[in-house]
């Protein structure tokens, strides 16, 4: 079997981590620390020599976790691992977590406070999400053929994909599980299958208790992109995830568990994975009305001068993403704050049209025409709303 240099280094790191865990269980912390250092050396070589590797984010997270564990052992000592524990169940303080009623530690569990009313524009995306998730949860008896369980949100950076997913959970009083794609495999690489299974087992248990669950996977292309060289247990992780998603469509069990994934690079996704998402929704740049609404929402929180023409600003900001507009408004406002401190003024002056004009000179849109055409081309082939 021929292994790539990255895979050899990965396997070396994993081997040293396993040896370190064994040493910890035997309370031999000096040996454990030495093994963790050897693992870090292998990971450092990957990070230094292969910065463009498709799984570089996984290796960065893995390096961070090993480094944190090593620092804890060296500074405070560590509790020995209990028999049968593995590192995926141990946090950075060395405390075991065996509560099956809790989500995996790599998942951020929350009840979002954002609603659809807090999101300017994106009316088509909101409508598609209402039809796919909110209506079936509200009246499941109206959907004898079932409903979509997978939604892919794709589009330029900063257009509101994460906010949309969070708002869904808020609208249905559900639980929002935010998953960093890289973390699924990095705690620890080789334990990815267990992580995926634990994630879905937890979601199903909550849904059986009557709580809708939204599993949101950000930058999903990092996990399910098309790669020339599969690395380590990546294939098994991907297959486990596809298996779990297929299980959500089980006709005999209509649980309200939904997977919403977001990506800025839909063209990097593997086609078998794309097919698991019955809804594939383009989240594009805001139109004039959405830009105007967003400006109104932002300026309502700031002291604005009477010369600020929101309609004119909305026209001039064509091509800017929602995130771009927020950053620009913040930059314009900071001009007034800067003057306040530098000139030791008594009062803060309102932000005016000139502030916005200056900010627009220094802040260009983050999305170009070439990128937009790439999204349009992908939409022509795969869009499903």
Together in a domain, 122 and 245: yes
Give the domain-ending residue among 284, 305, 339.
284
90, β-bridge pairs: 96
In a domain, 102, yes or no: no
In a domain, 141, yes or no: yes
Token couple for 135: 């209506």
Nearest 5°: CA angle at 320, between 316 and 322?
A: 120
Selection from 63-67, 169-173, 300-304 with the highest mean pLDDT: 300-304
The CATH number covering residue 307 comes to 1.10.8.60
Q: Which residue has the tokens 């869904």?
A: 168
Look at residue 191 and tell me whether its pLDDT is greater than 90.
no
What is the average per-residue pLDDT within 172-184?
78
Together in a domain, 173 and 218: yes
Together in a domain, 326 and 212: no
In a domain, 294, yes or no: yes
The CATH number covering residue 43 comes to 1.20.58.80
Together in a domain, 30 and 119: no
Biggest alpha carbon–alpha carbon distance for the chain: 73
- Domain residues for 153? 107-284
The CATH number covering residue 214 comes to 3.40.50.300
Instruction: State if pTM tops 0.85.
Output: no
- As for how many domains the chain has, the answer is 3
Together in a domain, 83 and 112: no
Q: How many helices (H) and strands (E) does the chain have?
A: 16, 6
Sequential DSSP letters for 295-312: HHHHHTTS-B-TT--HHH
In a domain, 252, yes or no: yes
- The dihedrals phi and psi of 360, each to the nearest 5 degrees, come to -65, -30
Together in a domain, 51 and 119: no
The percentage of the chain sitting over the pLDDT mark of 90, rounded to a whole number, equals 46
Look at residue 367 and tell me whether its pLDDT is greater than 60.
yes
DSSP symbol at 236: H
In a domain, 183, yes or no: yes
Together in a domain, 201 and 348: no
Give residue 190's pLDDT.
58
Give the domain-ending residue among 89, 122, 142.
89
Together in a domain, 128 and 237: yes
In a domain, 377, yes or no: no
Together in a domain, 122 and 140: yes
Sequential DSSP letters for 130-193: IIIIIHHHH-GGG-TT----EEEEE-STTSSHHHHHHHHHHHTT-EEEEEEHHHHHHTTTT-HH
Together in a domain, 126 and 52: no
pLDDT per residue over 29-83, tens digit each?
889 899 999 999 998 888 888 776 767 767 777 887 788 788 878 765 544 443 3
pLDDT greater at residue 176 or residue 192: 176
Give the domain-ending residue among 89, 117, 147.
89
In a domain, 85, yes or no: yes
Together in a domain, 216 and 328: no
Look at residue 85 and tell me whether its pLDDT is greater than 50.
no
In a domain, 371, yes or no: no
Together in a domain, 270 and 307: no
pLDDT per residue over 244-279, tens digit each?
888 886 655 688 999 999 999 999 998 888 988 999
């Amino acid at each position: 079997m021929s292994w790539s240099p990255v895979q050899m280094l990965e396997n070396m790191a994993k081997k040293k981590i396993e040896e370190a865990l064994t040493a910890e269980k035997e309370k031999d912390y000096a040996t454990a620390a030495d093994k963790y250092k050897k693992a870090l050396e292998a990971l450092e070589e990957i990070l230094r020599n292969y910065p463009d590797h498709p799984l570089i984010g996984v290796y960065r997270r893995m390096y961070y976790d090993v480094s944190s564990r090593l620092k804890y052992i060296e500074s405070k000592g560590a509790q020995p691992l209990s028999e049968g524990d593995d590192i995926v169940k141990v946090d950075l303080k060395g405390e075991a977590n065996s509560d099956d009623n809790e989500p995996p530690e790599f998942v951020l569990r929350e009840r979002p406070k954002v609603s659809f009313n807090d999101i300017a524009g994106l009316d088509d995306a909101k409508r598609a999400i209402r039809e796919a998730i909110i209506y079936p949860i509200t009246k499941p008896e109206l959907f004898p053929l079932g409903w979509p369980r997978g939604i892919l949100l794709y589009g330029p950076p900063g257009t509101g994909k994460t906010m949309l997913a969070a708002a869904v959970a808020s609208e249905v009083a559900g639980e929002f599980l935010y998953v960093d794609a890289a973390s699924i495999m990095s705690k620890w690489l080789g334990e990815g299958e267990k992580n995926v299974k634990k994630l879905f087992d937890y979601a199903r248990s909550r849904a059986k208790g009557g709580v809708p669950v939204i599993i949101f996977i950000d930058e999903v292309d990092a996990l399910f992109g098309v790669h020339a060289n599969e690395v380590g247990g990546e294939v098994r992780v991907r297959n486990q995830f596809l298996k779990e998603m297929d299980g959500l469509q089980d006709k005999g069990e209509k649980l309200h568990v939904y997977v919403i994934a977001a990506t800025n690079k839909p063209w990097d996704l593997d086609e078998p994975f794309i097919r698991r998402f019955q809804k594939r929704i383009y989240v594009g740049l805001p139109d004039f009305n959405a830009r105007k609404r967003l400006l109104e929402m932002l300026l309502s929180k700031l002291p604005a001068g009477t010369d600020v023409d929101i309609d004119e600003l909305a026209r001039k900001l064509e091509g800017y993403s929602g995130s771009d507009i927020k950053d620009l408004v913040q930059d314009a406002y900071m001009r007034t704050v800067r003057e306040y401190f530098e000139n030791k003024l008594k009062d803060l002056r309102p932000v005016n049209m000139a502030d916005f004009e200056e900010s627009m000179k220094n802040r260009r849109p983050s999305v170009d025409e070439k990128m937009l055409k790439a999204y349009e081309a992908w939409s022509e082939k795969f869009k499903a709303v």
